[in-house]
Amino acid sequence: MTKSGEEIKRLSAKQALRIEMASRRDELSEEERAERSKQACGYASDFMKRLRLQSMMIYVPFRSELDSRPLIEWAWREGVHVIVPRSMPEDRSMELYELKAWIELAPGAYGIWEPDPSRSHKWMNGNPDIIWVPGLAFDRTGGRLGYGGGYYDRLSDRLGEGAQDNTHQTREPLWMGIAYEVQVVEHVPMEDHDRVLDGLITERGHFVKTRSAPEG
């Protein structure tokens, strides 16, 4: 199916923004990234404690992404279930595993550290209470610019369907971005199928849209 001129223009705008935002993130020094990551993870853990959330899905950092490891280690100390995705490139889907120790990780399809199926177990206990989403750019209305693979959009569709089946799944999770403040822009170009986030946390605090939270 041939793309329209408007669709091509939107895709070009997204790609240009991806390049700009990756550069902006890469320009942060290693020390700046570590300090800002620690601050953002502190706000994220406070947010989870306030809502009494007992399980979270979260990425393992890659390249210059905000370092999620302080939040993961906080969750382990607090007894919060840590769920980490494993990418399946053949259909651009994700399998979810519970991570209990760093030793359970191994380099995945894209060189990203992911759960090793021989060392960790699949998560089979329904939807996570919250999903922490990485990305290149975010805005304060729930917009997110990802890497173009559509993995999180597909997961959103799958978990949304599961949330409607009360015999097997819990309600739909909260979807929250977590990023450096330099990744926040006025407006992220979005497609109809793009997942709109429930909020965003950076090293300067958090923004949350009005929505009831999952019960912890």
Amino acid at 129: D
* pLDDT for 118 beyond 80: yes
- The answer, yes or no, to whether residue 117 has pLDDT greater than 70, is yes
Q: What residue has token string 């998560």?
A: 123
Task: From 83, 56, 66, select the one nearest 202 (Cα to Cα).
Answer: 66
Structure confidence at residue 125 (pLDDT): 92
Across the range 156-170, mean pLDDT stands at: 65
pLDDT of residue 77: 98
Lowest mean pLDDT segment, chosen from 16-25, 104-113, 168-177: 168-177
pLDDT at position 213 is 45
Half-sphere exposure of 52 (CA within 13 A, CB side): 4
**What is the percentage of the chain residues whose pLDDT exceeds 90?**
73
**Under 8 Å CB-to-CB from 40, ≥6 apart: which residues?**
66, 178, 179, 180, 201, 202, 203
Higher pLDDT, 209 or 33: 33
Helix (H, G, I), strand (E, B) or coil at 62: coil
Residue 167 confidence (pLDDT): 46
Question: What is the pLDDT at residue 24?
Answer: 96
- pLDDT value at 215 more than 50: no
Core vs surface per residue 36-59: b (16+ CB within 10 A) or e = bbebbbebbbebbeebebbbbbbb
